[in-house]
Structure 1
Amino acid sequence: MGGLALFGGVDAGGTTFKCGLASAGGDLVARRRIPTTDPRETISNCVAFFLEAAHEHDAEIAALGIAAFGPIDVDAASPAYGTILDTPKRGWSGANLFDLFSRALGVRVTVDTDVNGALLAEMKWGAARDASSAAYVTIGTGIGAGIFAGGGFMGKPRHPEFGHICVQRHAADASFQGVCPKHGDCLEGLASASALAARFGEPAALPADHQAWGIEAWYIAQACLNLNLSFRPDRIILGGGLMLAEHLLPRVQERYAQLVAGYLGESTSDIERLICRPGLGDDAGLLGGVALARG
């Protein structure tokens, strides 16, 4: 191996592990998407990618960061650090990502949640790079949030479970029981992609004028309002698969404005600056792994 030092990043998702090697400045030089199967096969394929990519670029892997789905133990002082806890993802409960990757690659490994990783990358290189506090909310199969304020991530050594907050029902959504197996109609139970699919069909197939989007915006706007009233972050970044619908963000911003009712003195441009898309797009999680590796 040569003297070039590159940082490895993993966006460990329930469907796909996105792996990449990048410079300290976040420039990706190699990347690969690996299907999430069982832990042994998935991580073996990830390790093979990193070794091949490092060899191809005549580089050393300086460190590895993993931004992972959860729930996961992110307490670096815990003997179970990096362990996936009780997850519905078959075969992954008890998988220790820290041990598996550090033993295979022999480098320093840092593990955090997918949302904390994405938020860290957005604060270094993306939509929140000029912010001192920010929240990143992912809205996909599930819902989660990472919050950075006062110089660190909130909730450490644990992590927030923001997807399970209570929200007020939309008037046209009174009969749906919700999909959360624990709470039914929490935020995730009502506003995740799984929840939309359960009552309206595949979200990607829904036209922009479908009533589902008005209902979705109502719930996500409440989430943004709760975040802003509780923590007053400089940015609330909305990521995840559902936010790929271009028309959804303006709906959320408009509904948020109605809900806050001028209480915080925000102009339309203030709200558009506050509630925004990821600056790094679909790479936020992967670059989050790189940012974690950098330390």
Structure 2
Amino acid sequence: MKVAIGIDIGGTKTAIGLVAPDGTVLAKTSLPTDLALPPSVMVDNIAGAAKRLVGEKELLPADLQGVGIGAPGPLNTKLGQIAEPPNLRPWWGFPVVDAFKRHFDVPIVLENDATAAALAEKQTGAAKEADHFVYVTISTGIGAGIYSHGRLITGATGNAGDIGHMVVDPAGGDCPCGQRGCFEHIASGTAVAREASALLGRPVSTKEAFDLALSGQDAALEQLVQRVFRYIGVGCVTLINTFDPELIVIGGGVSQVGSPLFDAVSGYIRDHALNPSGRRTPVVPAALHQDAGLIGAAALVLTDY
């Protein structure tokens, strides 16, 4: 049985799974991403959890095709390093591929987590029939995976698609990256929670903010959410004008808002995309949710991406 280990490293949780070539998740587990631990120790813990899954499935060494790792950027995939992701500061400059090589004598591949998720959506999700699409994840932050002419577009160091830090509205305030009005700073789930909390004068979760806004219970929150939908539309139009995709796939926690988001974004695209064909670009929800990172990370090993 051919399998790959998929590892999806996040700022709060790391998911680990065994994945078959057709994208089926055979077994999975997760660990908290403990930023108080040195990254080398976290890698030891992740590798130990992966080896336990291999043992439980009674796999032979020859069955394991490799290890795929998805992680938030910036990365340096050529060097196999975590570069400077804001949510993984203790990992900055960490040679993650070399660290896993201490545990596994198989090919090990590192890519941006959104890029890996795009590959998963191509393999078994919403973009199976598309040769040109952009996967956009909107959650704690915002990122994208770009698939064009039948291949992933990863860039010189694996950071193509870091759209969270393209400027959408310079009046949107200071982003931690140093620019003003970055897409992520004004339209992510984090941004919604931050702005809603300021409006209500108490801590508000992203879900509660959307629920209150879309139920019509708070006019100020409704204006906030409609502004965020417009910003997401701006981001998608920029992607359409730049990459000419046949499809936009939106995933991440904010996509769970459903039709209010997709209707608003599609409407903005119809009004503002430059090319007439671009104005008709379908915008669809991701088909894969919690397992997208696992499937995509494993697909880095199992497919010729």
The alignment's TM-score, normalised by the length of structure 2, stands at: 0.84
CA gap of 1:90–1:285, structure 2 versus 1, over 3 A, is same
Q: Which residue of 1 aligns with 2:25?
A: 28
Pick aligned residue for 2:177 from 160, 181, 188: 181
Would you say 1:216 and 2:228 are equivalent positions?
yes
- Displacement of 1:183: 0.8
Task: Confirm or deny: 8 A CA contact 2:167 2:180 kept in the other structure.
Answer: no
Paired residues for 1:244-263 under 5 Å: 244-246=256-258, 247-260=260-273, 263=275
Q: Distance in 1 between matches of 2:113 and 2:140?
A: 13
- Displacement of 1:132: 0.8
Q: Which residue of 2 aligns with 1:78?
A: none
Q: Distance in 1 between matches of 2:22 and 2:151?
A: 21
For 2:52, give the aligned amino acid.
E
Paired residues for 1:110-129 under 5 Å: 110-129=109-128
Q: Distance in 1 between matches of 2:42 and 2:263?
A: 37
Q: Distance in 1 between matches of 2:116 and 2:26?
A: 19
Pick aligned residue for 2:253 from 238, 241, 244: 241
* Structure 1 portions without partners, runs of 5+: 76-80
Task: Confirm or deny: 8 A CA contact 1:34 1:42 kept in the other structure.
Answer: no
Q: Which residue of 1 aligns with 2:7?
A: 10
Q: Which residue of 1 aligns with 2:276?
A: 264
Identity of aligned residues (%): 29
1:65-115 deviation line (CA, Å, top 9, x unaligned): 11111111122xxxxx22111233231112222111122122211111011
User: In angstroms, what is the RMSD of aligned CA positions?
Assistant: 2.0
- Displacement of 1:48: 1.4
CA gap of 1:137–1:110, structure 2 versus 1, over 3 A, is same
For 2:188, give the aligned amino acid.
S
Q: Which residue of 2 aligns with 1:94?
A: 93
Q: Which residue of 1 aligns with 2:80?
A: 82
Task: Confirm or deny: 8 A CA contact 2:165 2:183 kept in the other structure.
Answer: yes
Task: Confirm or deny: 8 A CA contact 2:240 2:278 kept in the other structure.
Answer: no
Q: Distance in 1 between matches of 2:8 and 2:147?
A: 19
Number of aligned residue pairs: give it.
Answer: 277
Task: Confirm or deny: 8 A CA contact 1:30 1:53 kept in the other structure.
Answer: yes
Q: Which residue of 2 aligns with 1:71?
A: 74
For 1:29, give the aligned amino acid.
L
The alignment's TM-score, normalised by the length of structure 1, stands at: 0.87
